[in-house]
Structures are given as C-alpha cells and as structure tokens.
Amino acid sequence: MDKIMIEKARSHFMRASEEFGFTFISPYLLDEENGITAFGYISGYGSYYGVVLNLIEPPNYEINKEIAAICDKKHMWYTFLNVELLVGEYNSYYFQDLLEDWRTFSHCDTNDRYVSLHDCKSKRAYFEYGVLGFEFIDGFWITPEHPESHLDTLVKTDFSRVEYELLDGDEYDVNVFVFEKNILGQTVKKEWSVQKLVDSINNEEVVVEFLYQYVDGMSRIVECWLWSDRKPYSRECVLKISAREVQYHWNRILEDRVW
C-alpha cells in the first residue's frame, strides 16, 4: 500500500467528515508509549470510545494484529477497510452506509420489563433529531424475563445505549430538575435545559447515575444522581420525559456480571 493510496483514502474521509458532521483524526496515535499509529479515528461511533480505522489491501487482506490487540485492551471498537474502495471517486453513499453500520446494535428492545437502568452510569449523551440518548460503557441490566437470558437474575450487557424518541422532538419534551443546597443549607430546585445536561455530561463535569423510572403512557419520570469531582460532589436529579418510544440498544450479555 503506497502513500498515494493512503492520502487518497484520508482525503475522502476528511470530505465525508465535513459532509456528515463527524470528527475524524488521521493519522491517529493509538499507543503513545510505543509510538503505534493507526490510519484514523472517529469519535461517537462504534463504541463509547469511538472507532479506530486501519486499511487493508488485496489479495491477502492482512490485518495489523498489534493494532487489534491494543484496541481490545482499551475496549475500543476497530475495523479494517479495503483501501481499493477508497481510492476512486468520492462516494457519499459509501460513507453513509459505513456510519449507519457503525451505529447499529444487534439488539433493540422497547419493552421496559426487559431492561433496568438502576445504578447504571452514563458518561456520554446527545440530544439531536428529536432523540435524547445516553450511552453506558459498562452496559445496563437485562432482566430474567428477556428471551435472550437463561439466568434467574439481572445480568449486565456490554456497551449499550438508551434513546428516548421525544413526543414532539423538541426540548420542551424534557424537564431537568437538579436539587442543590444553598448557602443556608436549604435544598433548592433548579431547572436545567436538556442541552445543559448533555453538555455537562460530555464535558466531563458530571456523570449521571440512573436509579428509578416511573412510566405512565408516554410520560416518564427518571430519578438520577449527578456525580462530579468538585463540590457539590453529588446532586439529586429528576428527568421528566415525554417520549413516543424508548429504545434500548445492546449487543452481548456478559454472563459473569450478574446482579
């Protein structure tokens, strides 16, 4: 694989990042200590830690096992792409299909009785296209009633995601109430915008821990805790969400992680 092919593939990914609005880093320093570099990296896709990209070429389609091993150790999703598909004319549909595939989970449940978010913590969230989403690097709980589970207790999934498809798709479908102590030691309720909550999570200012959900038709109340490294270290939070549907996305049950 020569440098011209690599640069052509890189230019196509840069163009796609502008078209589809994702962050692309190339080359990507995967292991700083040993100076190991991958072709590229895209955040927000594939896994909580994003997706690492490397190129392969025919006829052997040899993968870099060292890069694969590092990604496995770091719990990063990785893929090896045929460089021949990236050196011709720019193909918007090729990248659209890639991004859709990398957002795909093998399971999608809409039944709350199959999933529990209790004690699950999210460090990444998004609010876009009428959907409020939270990602869980350590997964969420699958109940014994789920057809995929043969255990009689709750069991964790791998990396997972919950998406609330909002009733009208607007910010007024979500009310965020945060309870804090004032200088007199009194508990006061403050209302945040949904965007403030999302930004606070993604900027690593808070981690949201889900506790209980109460569902009534298309309305639900979610009790949470907001944890931070600075004072106040913890705050009670209540989300009031109007949603047409809630989707729980996940891939595998981790049978050694039972309740």
* Preceding peptide of 232 cis, ω within 30°: yes
At 182 the pLDDT is: 83
Please give the average per-residue pLDDT across 87-105, as a whole number: 86
* Summary mean pLDDT of the chain: 91
At 26 the pLDDT is: 95
At 128 the pLDDT is: 84
At 80 the pLDDT is: 94
Q: Where are the beta strands (DSSP E) in the chain?
A: 24-25, 28-31, 36-38, 40-42, 51-56, 77-82, 107-109, 115-116, 121-122, 124-128, 131-136, 141-142, 155-157, 160-166, 174-181, 187-192, 207-216, 219-227, 234-250, 253-258
At 48 the pLDDT is: 62
Please give the average per-residue pLDDT across 158-180, as a whole number: 93
Check pLDDT > 90 for residue 168: yes
**91: which 2 tokens?**
């193909």
Check pLDDT > 90 for residue 99: no
Distance of CA 128 to the CA centre of its chain: 13
Check pLDDT > 80 for residue 44: no
At 170 the pLDDT is: 92
pTM: 0.66
Report pLDDT digits (tens) over 105-142: 778 899 999 999 999 999 989 898 899 999 998 999 99
At 104 the pLDDT is: 65
Please give the average per-residue pLDDT across 65-91, as a whole number: 89
Rounded Cα–Cα distance for residues 123 and 88 (Å): 39
Please give the average per-residue pLDDT across 131-159, as a whole number: 92
Rounded Cα–Cα distance for residues 109 and 253 (Å): 13
Comparing 91 with 184, the larger pLDDT belongs to 91
